[in-house]
Chains A and B, each alone.
Chain A
Amino acid sequence: MEQNQMKANAVSMMTAVNLSEMKISRNPAETLVAFSIGSGIGVTVFDPVSSVGGLFNFMLPDSTQASGVNSEKVPLMFADTGVPFFVQALFEQGIQLDRMKVVIAGGAQFMDQTGMFNIGEKNYGALKNGLASYDIKIHHEDIGGTDSRKLSLEIGSGSSCIKIFGQAEVKV
């Protein structure tokens, strides 16, 4: 009881989730934030029953395409290696598949960035494939366009927020 009271009184705490990182938390005072997402994609997952949530922020679609970088050392840089790594870590924290609320944001592209150099679009495709292989559904997405985005997850409420400069924050 005393501990819960302390948690409720604690000043809310922002934890940055940088590129190629993930964070998982069960602290209701904590908010996980990916501050600036470009062509990469941020993924939030929350389980309302266990009250555990996580944020994963990746940068590239395919670890086999990036020569010179050992994906075993940086699995969270890529969608293909990062999704299994993140999902496994969520399972270990007691999150269950059928209770997952998933929000994704990012995948921006430049004007005229079509075809093979369109990394934002490829990231989106790779992420969807990765999540589909676990049968994980996306509840809300804000993908593409030329905007950079901020994505956050409040562990206390389970809400995800997407913010684009000059626009109102979208809370889901």
Chain B
Amino acid sequence: MTDLKDMVEQIDQLEPVPPIAAQILALTEDPDSSLAEISDLILNDPALTANLLKICNSAFFSLPRQVESVRDAISLMGLDQIVEIVLFNGLSASFKKKMVGYGLGERELWRHAVSSAHVAGILADRFGASQNKQLIYTAALVKDIGKLILGRFVAFSYEQINILVQSQGQSFNDAEHEIIGMNHEELGALVGKKWNFSDKMIYIIRHHHLSDESARQDLETALVYLADIICMMMGICTGADGLSYRFYGDVLNEMNMSEHDLQGIIAEAGKNQQQVEMLLNL
């Protein structure tokens, strides 16, 4: 078994989410926060402000006029969009790295993350409570953060993990836990803690494959799980783990999601995939 202490120490070596992204996230989850507070926070970071204005004025958004200030950007594009850009800005460097253990090339985990977040947004609109959309979107974006560290340990133990998956029918994350001593959900939760994510965000990262029965009752976690499942079915940058995870049909039944709904959401996600690809290059 791997030395877990060694693995946990590597959290410090990850390129962290800039504190500003974590602060903004906390503010958007707080119903009492104001627009002014959020724009002040962004303004305190000149590099982020410059980058944000550059992205807002890029051809991708094709806004009717030039955006000249952070507050202007928020009022024109909406707070959700600005928070997304700030998060992308903070996370993409780490997620774009090649991950040998999971069989993912450069940018592939990032593509999966952004696509999952997009699908999670569609699911949140249809099946979630509207005030939680940002949380669900962001949780889907960061859910695999544990893979950033675990990848190299998976590379080392892939054959053993694969034997448990193929011959004993274990899911990939259970096999990771058994062989390495920790899976990417558990390690991801530790990273989230270190980076001061909210308790709810950490919970979703920790349970996004729903192995724990109580997590299946939690709507936000279930929606992030489904977003992940849908992207894997679509084959969006599925790697060494393939589709080796458990499917919980009861979770869909409990949300009153029919077969018709599921196929409709996959079709919608597929239709939007080109737009998602453009987001990846921002």
Contacts and interface: CB of A to CB of B under 8 A. Distances in A.
Interface of A: 18-20, 36-40, 59-62, 65-69, 74, 77, 106, 108-117, 119-120, 146-148, 164-166
Contacts of A69: 264, 267-268, 271
A110 B246 contact: yes
Name B's interface SS. Answer: helix
Contacts, number: 119
Contacts of B266: 59-60, 66, 119
Given A117-B247, A119-B266, 14 more contacts: A36-B235, A36-B236, A39-B234, A60-B263, A61-B263, A66-B264, A67-B261, A69-B268, A74-B267, A77-B271, A109-B247, A115-B249, A119-B262, A147-B243
Contacts of B238: 36, 38, 148
A119 B263 contact: yes
Contacts of A109: 243, 247
B183 to A, nearest CB: 15
A119 B234 CA distance: 10
Contacts of A37: 235
A104 to B, nearest CB: 14
Contact of B247 (A19, A36, A74, A112): A112
A17 B242 CA distance: 19
Interface of B: 103, 158-159, 162, 165, 169, 171, 229, 232-240, 242-249, 252, 259-264, 266-268, 270-271, 273
Given A36-B238, A38-B238, A119-B233, A67 B264 contact: yes
B260 A65 contact: yes
A40 B271 CA distance: 15
A24 B247 CA distance: 36
A117 B259 contact: yes
A48 B207 CA distance: 51
B252 A19 contact: no
Contact of A77 (B158, B235, B243, B270): B270
B105 to A, nearest CB: 9
Contacts of B159: 166
B235 A166 contact: no
Given A59-B270, A69-B264, A146-B242, A110 B236 contact: no
B245 A60 contact: no
B270 A146 contact: no
A59 B237 CA distance: 15
8 contacts: A59-B266, A61-B263, A65-B264, A67-B261, A68-B264, A74-B267, A110-B243, A148-B232
A32 to B, nearest CB: 16
